[in-house]
Structure 1
């Protein structure tokens, strides 16, 4: 198998546009978001407008629905550049609507998908519950048939940017299969539906300004046409979303790690102690070398997984390998970057303490590192009957 990840002229142009957008429209607002813990509504509106004009909004969506139609490798390159700045700024301001919405009927596309692509509506996805995180099949939120619709009961938490969303993509139990395990379905539910209430979530040390909420469903009635796909297919549909977001997480980790490494190299070259740049000391120089090796390995594994997606050959393990390596790599690079900078690394005059804090969540959300290792090991053992 031969790989060539050198950028095409088109990819290089897209990366340059994204990098310029980040430097001009997003990075200048990092300190404000860190200080206030929020993105001003008027700032968010302005970022969305400029992202739409730049062609960066909904870049993950196919051209047939108004998106940029980028292939997965190019999307990874874009996500890497976006990842260099505040998550709250780039994820809410430069939205990438959930690919689950592509499974909708023509009517659902008109009501939910297309407005998201145009920046008119925002979605959030609700899977996690207080008693169900990694074990998605343990969710308790239920959808019960009621005449020509469904009654929804349950609670979801850790729901990202729900307070800025118009509707929720909900995973709920709708029955049991022949083995007695719960079957899942997905529903599209407007957040102003009676019986649906939104509550402030938890304060998070990672990604300030990127909020989470709790959503309560108290006998909320939704019509039958809110069901996305077929009844009982929710788990499979959710899997398509997880693959895309896990690659996205891996790619944004690359961007932050690259930023931390660049700062570290500059500091090691310019900081003089004992009469010479500290980078000449083996204790610092070797750190830079190890950080570079780990970043290069994570980038290649992420590009490899993206390439396999484009070829139609990607497995869950391919995605898990990329997500695992990139998130663990970022933790190491962020920590070593602070060590190289010494006390100043922990001061908020530099972005390193933010990168360090933000890195912690990446090994948890969208599937913990332990879950990724489970997926990888299972792929190795199953062919041998173990």
Structure 2
């Protein structure tokens, strides 16, 4: 099975490059990374270096800052291919956050350009121990002290392939009165690793995407100058939204890639595994699962393509994004579960990749906004025009 569209020549060449790269630099290391729970430094750095050589590094950022300048459609196809592989490994092919395009003045040389070149890595630090899906429950705060800001608080489940050089940290800097009542004013800060009072360490280990790290960040009276604000004071949520919007579309695209790989594994097994004298795929109980998997994948690809088209036309809404993220993340979990069922007991054996893809798929319904949050956003878009 392949994606529903026929890429043009230029995009086809890009996909050939990506697939060749993954076959050479990523797939061979999947099993080892999953078993040992980490990516060897030399492996990660080789992926990073090779990605720079062939132009995949920072491909999401515009050419004017030294990035690859790929279109949204091209990025969706790339993320779809990445979704077939180990996140712990392909994340070394950095796609720096577009939030860094808000850098101004010396921030460009200190943060944006080093990330484009691969000299620095950043963390997107929004989630907190008591404020996961409820971002407005954020407790991290920064208060003015003359021209400076004093930052306190903590973040967790902040993910990345390796220890970062700085974090984009979201903190409350005041409260605004709105027609819906008081609302926290959130600001994004650029905080360098090693800044006094800033503790950055590895956090919990997940059974999904083993080898992909989570970090815990703690801030105790961290002094930040006015030049450490990214964008404008009080506009942090608007910045975060820019990243989360397309980020959720990329998650959906990667889910389709993973579903395609799972469907391929299930199809091969159903055609070759025999019971009662015939391939198991010839039994309706198995064959209908394959059919449902194929339909789900096709629908997911269409939703991603629609979201990308809407984004390129400038009409993509929060509800659009939630729909594609919700559907694709739940679709890949159904596909993964059916794939395990088709394999039977062998689907849970460590010697085969099915169990790893099954575990990895489970995270898709949680990160970048849980399924429940996506349904809330969709419901709100339906009811608000009616005043409900």
TM-score computed with the length of structure 2 as normaliser: 0.96
**Structure 2 segments unaligned to the other structure (5+ residues):** none
Match of 1:119 in 2: 118
Match of 2:361 in 1: 359
The C-alpha deviation readout for 1:128-178, integer Å capped at 9, x for no partner, is 111101111110000111122111000111111285210000000000001
Match of 1:235 in 2: 237
1:1-386 residue pairs with structure 2 within 5 A?
5-91=5-91, 93-161=92-160, 164-178=163-177, 179-386=181-388
Secondary structure at the aligned position of 2:106 is classed as: helix
Secondary structure at the aligned position of 2:286 is classed as: helix
Secondary structure at the aligned position of 1:134 is classed as: coil
Structure 1 contact 100–238 (Cα < 8 Å) conserved:
yes
Structure 1 contact 163–213 (Cα < 8 Å) conserved:
no
Secondary structure at the aligned position of 2:100 is classed as: helix
Secondary structure at the aligned position of 1:197 is classed as: strand
The C-alpha deviation readout for 1:10-69, integer Å capped at 9, x for no partner, is 111111111111111101011111111111111111110100111111111011111111
Q: Distance in 2 between matches of 1:216 and 1:367?
A: 23
Shift of 1:5: 4.5
Q: Distance in 1 between matches of 2:201 and 2:24?
A: 34
Structure 1 contact 162–213 (Cα < 8 Å) conserved:
no
Inter-CA distance 165–146: structure 2 relative to 1 (3 Å threshold): same
Q: Distance in 2 between matches of 1:317 and 1:284?
A: 35
Comparing 282-291 and 98-107, the one that deviates more: 98-107
Q: Distance in 2 between matches of 1:373 and 1:180?
A: 25
Count residues in correspondence.
382
Q: Distance in 2 between matches of 1:342 and 1:9?
A: 41
Q: Distance in 1 between matches of 2:35 and 2:281?
A: 32
Secondary structure at the aligned position of 1:180 is classed as: strand
Q: Distance in 2 between matches of 1:84 and 1:17?
A: 15
Q: Distance in 2 between matches of 1:338 and 1:21?
A: 28
Shift of 1:289: 0.1
Secondary structure at the aligned position of 1:283 is classed as: helix
RMSD: 1.2
Q: Distance in 2 between matches of 1:46 and 1:203?
A: 24
Q: Distance in 2 between matches of 1:194 and 1:338?
A: 49
Q: Distance in 2 between matches of 1:83 and 1:114?
A: 27
After superposing on structure 2, the runs of 4+ consecutive aligned residues of structure 1 that deviate more than 3 Å are none
Q: Distance in 2 between matches of 1:294 and 1:68?
A: 32
Comparing 147-156 and 330-339, the one that deviates more: 147-156
Secondary structure at the aligned position of 1:349 is classed as: coil
The C-alpha deviation readout for 1:205-225, integer Å capped at 9, x for no partner, is 111001112110000111110
TM-score computed with the length of structure 1 as normaliser: 0.97
Q: Distance in 2 between matches of 1:180 and 1:130?
A: 23
Q: Distance in 2 between matches of 1:162 and 1:130?
A: 21
Secondary structure at the aligned position of 2:182 is classed as: coil
Q: Distance in 1 between matches of 2:347 and 2:274?
A: 16
Q: Distance in 2 between matches of 1:337 and 1:59?
A: 33
Structure 2 contact 176–182 (Cα < 8 Å) conserved:
yes
Structure 1 contact 141–173 (Cα < 8 Å) conserved:
yes
